[in-house]
Amino acid sequence: MERLLVLVRHGQSDWNLKNLFTGWKDPDLTSQGVDEATGAGQRLKAMGLQFDVAFTSALTRAQHTCRLILGELGQSDLITIREQALNERDYGDLSGLNKDDARAKWGDEQVHLWRRSYDVPPPGGESLKDTVARVLPYYCQEILPRVLRGERVIIAAHGNSLRALVMILDRLTPETIPTMELDTGVPLVYRLKADSTVESKKVLTA
């Protein structure tokens, strides 16, 4: 039985380009982001992969990425489940701020702590720990059972919501996960064992 799970961080968004904290704000992809998503689809197609169901977040940039990937695979009509639980980490009061302006206002050390600690949330927002607590139950209840019964699943989501999944799949710790980066538009192809642990992982870089 093929227990296939593919994770893809959305392509570059307009606010990624402008160096803004994005969170639950809803900018779309840049032209580069469109190219990244299209390229991700092409690399998945070159591996001969097809999917039974797609999951994405409630945010435009992830949904657009998902549509572009499925279009490259000839699966534009694939069942696609949009779920807020897979949204990016909520940056609260930082949302929409330029990261350099935030450092000028609160200082490098404080902004670094908000961005890279595991359990310190920005004002009005979520820590990575909070994001894991939101994403993981949805994964365990709705996504993992599909993979374990042989459905081929792709998730197009966000840097932090996917880091929550990678933390579990790759057995990373609260100390190591904050420094782990996911590149935009780069699929992570997992094959799982029957006990839900990882049998293999392949990173499809451009």
CATH code at position 26:
3.40.50.1240
Which residues are tagged catalytic?
10, 88
- Residue 107 within any structural domain of the chain: no
Residue 80 lies in a domain: yes
Instruction: Give the helix, strand, coil percentages of the chain, each rounded to 5.
Output: 45, 15, 40
Residue range of the domain that includes 16: 4-89+127-203
For the stretch 99-115, pLDDT in tens is: 999 999 999 999 999 99
pTM for this prediction: 0.96
Whether 109 is covered by a domain: the verdict is: no
Of all residues in the chain, what percent carry a pLDDT higher than 70?
A: 100
Q: Is residue 141 part of a domain?
A: yes
Does any domain span residue 18? Answer: yes
Closest CA to 53 of 1, 2, 4: 4
pLDDT per residue over 112-132, tens digit each?
999 989 999 999 999 999 999
In a domain, 197, yes or no: yes
E strand or H helix at 123: none
Cα 128 from Cα 23, distance rounded (Å): 12
Are 116 and 179 spatial neighbours (Cβ–Cβ below 8 Å)?
Answer: yes
Q: How many domains does the chain have?
A: 1
33 within domain boundaries: yes
Per the domain annotation, does 104 fall within a domain?
Answer: no
